[in-house]
Chain A
Amino acid sequence: MEVTFNAYRREPGEAEYRRGVYKLDLPEDATIMDGMLKIRDEEDPNFAFRGSCLRGYCGDCMMSINGKNTFACTAKVANFMNRPEIALRPIRMVPVIKDLVFDWDAFMWNKIKVLNPWIEPQESTDGVRTVPDKVMADLRNAMSCYYCGLCDEGCTVLPVDMKFLGPAALTKAYRLAADPRDKNPGEHLKMAQQAEGIWDCVHCYEASEHCPRNIGPTERIVQLRDMAFEKGITNERVARHHTSFAASVKASGWLDEARLAIESEGLTNISGLMKLLPIAARAAIKGKAPIPYLHHKRPGAKRITEIFEKGDERGK
C-alpha cells in the first residue's frame, strides 16, 4: 500500500514548523505508528514522536491524524486514506518540544500534581481498612483512568484557558476525594475547588464523550460538585450563586434569575453590583428584564420546598 505521510516537524526553540513529507510502502494492516517507525528507522532518525506501550493503552502517542485526535499505535493507516496525504500534527494547544513530542507536564501532569495525588490512610489498630463493595466498584472505575489525556483534548474550556485543571486531573481529584480511607476527608474536595478547578467546568460532557475507558470524567466533576454542595462549597462566589439558586427554587419552585444575578455578586459587593447595571439597563430597555424578588411562586411550590427539606434531612 502506497501512502504519503505529511508530518509536523519543528526543532526545539524554532518558531516556525515545516512539513516533512514521506512516501511509504506499508502493509495493508499497518498502523500510523508502523509508518512513523519506518520513517525514523529508514529515512530520518531525527524524527521525534512518543510511543510506549504500542497497544492503545498508555496514550503516549496521542496526536491529531487528519484532524482526528487518537492514538497512532491503534489507528489503521487504511482508515485515513480519504486524503492524498495523511496529516500528523500535535494535538491542539499543547506546547511542542520537538516534532510530535509535546510537553505532557504542562498539558496534564503538573495539574495532577497540584492536587496532592495520594491519600493518607487513616490509622487503624488491626491494619485493615475495608471499603464497601459499591464504593470500591465506583472507585475502581475512576482508578482505571490511564491518563491518556483524551478528555483534556476534548475539553471545551482548555482552548480558552490553558490554566484550567481539566477533566483528567479532576477525575483524579474525584478518585481521591471519594476514597473513604483518607485520613483527612474533605481535603481533596477542597483542593478540587481551587481556582481553575471544578467550578470552572462547563459540564458540556465533551470529556466523557472522548474517554475511551468509559470513566465519565464529566460525571466525576459533577459528582465532586454534588459532594461540595452537600459538604460545603469553598469558592465564595460559587457558594453565593448556588445558595441563591437553591433558595429561589426552594421558596418558589423555580428560578428568580434577577435575584440570582444580584445575590451571586454579593449584596455588599458594590462594584460587582454596579457591573450588573448596564446588563440590567440593556434588558430593561428591550422589555425583557425580570424584576428581582417580585417573582411569583408557582403552584405546588410548597411541595418543592418539602423535597428540599427532606433532602436536607437525608443529608444529615
Chain B
Amino acid sequence: MKYALYTGCVSKGGCPELYPASLMVADRLGIELEELHDVGCTGAGVLPQGLSDPINARTFAKAEAMGMPIMTICSTCQGVMTQANHRLTEDPEYREEINRKYLADEGLEYKGTAEIKHLLWVLFEDIGAEKLQAMVQKPLAGLAVSPFYGCYLRRPPEVMTPPGFEKRATYLDDLIKLMGAEFIDIAGKGKCCGFPVLTANEENSLAMAAKHTGEAKEKGADVMVTPCPLCHLNLDGNQPNAEKQVGKEINLPILHLPQFVGLALGMTPSELGLGKHIVSTKVVNAKVEMLS
C-alpha cells in the first residue's frame, strides 16, 4: 500500500503535532507514503473554484504521474479535493480546459484517474477492520470517546459517501469501538465546528464549538476524536474562548485521528504530541497509562 501523502497546511502549521503522528501511525500500519512537496493549498473553501480547481488539478496530475492514490489527513482537504475531482472527472471538457490553460505549460496533464482518500477511509477500505483490530496492542477500554467528523468528510453525500461507500458516514464511530474504547454518540458529530466563520462571526463560531464539546462532555465523554485539523483548531485551540463565552467550564481534550489510533497501537501520549494541545489531555494520559 503506497500513497502520495498530501499533508495540507495545518498539519505543519497550526497543528504541527498532526504531521509526525500521522507518519508514525502510517509506518506502524504498513502504509507507505511518498510526500507530495511540490503542490499547493486546496483552497480550503476560501479560494474560489476558478483558482482552486486548477491548483487541485495540478496536485492530481502529479499523483497520477506517480501512479499512486493520494492520502489526506484533513477532512477539509479531503472534501475540497473530492469535490474538485468530481467536477474534473464528470466534465472532460472542463478538465481539458484546465489542462490547456493551467497545466500544459509545465508539461502536466490530468487524465481524471486520481483517487483521493482520507486516512480514515484508508483504515477501513485498504487495511480493513479485521487487520486493524488485530494490530491493536492497547485496547482503550474505559476511555469514553465522542466522534467529530468535520462537515467536509461526509457532505455533500452524493460526492463524499456515494453508493457503495455509504459506510464512510460512520467510520469514525466504528473506529472508536474497534479500538476498544467506549463510544459516546453525540447529535453534533456531523455538524460544523464553527471554524469557517471564525473571522466573519466569531460569536457564532465559538457558540458552535461550545455546543459540540459541551454536548460530548455532558454525555460523559473523556475525549473527542476528529479527522479534521481545522475542527481541532476551533474545538481545542478556541475552547478556552468558547468556555468564556458560554460562561462554563468544558475542558474536553480533542485528539487528532492518528493520535487516537496511535494510542491503541501502543504509542505513548508524549510520542504522539498530546502535550501540544491547548486543552490538557491529562485525563487521557492517565487512563492510557493505567491500561497495559
Q: Using a CB–CB distance below 8 Å, which chain A residues touch chain B? A: 156-157, 159-161, 164, 196, 199-206, 208-209, 216, 218, 222, 225-226, 229-230, 235, 237-238, 241-242, 245-246, 249, 253-258, 264, 278-279, 282-283, 286-288, 290, 295, 298-301, 303-304, 306-308, 310-311, 314-315
Contacts and interface: CB of A to CB of B under 8 A. Distances in A.
Given A283-B278, A286-B276, A304-B55, A230 B50 contact: yes
Contact of B50 (A206, A235, A257, A314): A314
B54 to A, nearest CB: 5
B254 to A, nearest CB: 13
Interface in B246-287: 275-278
B40 A199 contact: no
B41 interface: yes
A160 B277 CA distance: 26
Given A199-B200, A307-B54, A204 B13 contact: no
A310 B102 CA distance: 8
B180 interface: no
A283 B155 contact: no
A295 B13 CA distance: 9
A205 B157 CA distance: 9
Contact of B49 (A218, A226, A245): A226
Contact of B155 (A201, A204, A229, A245): A204
B271 to A, nearest CB: 15
B200 A156 contact: no
Interface in B29-47: 37-41, 43-47
Contacts of A157: 192, 197, 204, 208
B69 interface: no
B10 interface: yes
Interface string B203-224: 1100110010000000000000
A203 B47 CA distance: 13
B17 A288 contact: yes
Contacts of B207: 160-161
Contacts of A311: 50-51, 54
A254 B48 contact: no
A276 to B, nearest CB: 11
A287 B101 contact: no
Contact of B201 (A156, A200, A283, A290): A200
B40 A264 contact: no
Contact of B46 (A245, A278, A288): A245
Contact of B151 (A205, A216, A278, A314): A205
B278 A307 contact: no
A237 B208 contact: no
A300 B40 contact: yes
B47 A249 contact: yes
Contact of B40 (A196, A237, A258, A304): A304
Given A204-B191, A208-B156, A235-B200, A298 B39 contact: yes
A299 B192 contact: no
A307 B58 contact: yes
Contacts of A159: 211
Interface residues of B, number: 55
A257 B10 contact: yes
Interface in B151-196: 151-152, 155-157, 191-192, 194-196
B13 A290 contact: yes
B156 A226 contact: no
Nearest to A198: B200
Contacts of B16: 287-288, 290
B105 interface: yes
Contact of B194 (A202, A256, A287): A202
A310 B196 contact: no
A222 B152 CA distance: 14
B38 A300 contact: yes
Given A208-B155, A238-B200, A303 B106 contact: yes
Interface string B236-254: 0110110000000000000
Given A245-B46, A256-B13, A288-B17, A202 B192 contact: yes
A56 to B, nearest CB: 21
A15 B203 CA distance: 28
B15 interface: yes
A308 B9 contact: no
Contacts of A160: 204, 207-208, 211
Contacts of B50: 226, 230, 311, 314-315
Nearest to A205: B155
B292 interface: no
Contacts of B240: 278, 282
Given A235-B200, A253-B39, A283-B278, 13 more contacts: A159-B211, A160-B211, A161-B201, A205-B156, A208-B156, A238-B199, A238-B200, A249-B41, A254-B41, A282-B237, A288-B16, A300-B39, A307-B102
Contacts of A201: 196-197
B128 interface: no
A310 B44 CA distance: 20
B57 to A, nearest CB: 9
B155 A307 contact: no
B9 A254 contact: yes
Contacts of B157: 209
A41 to B, nearest CB: 37
Contacts of B199: 237-238, 241, 264
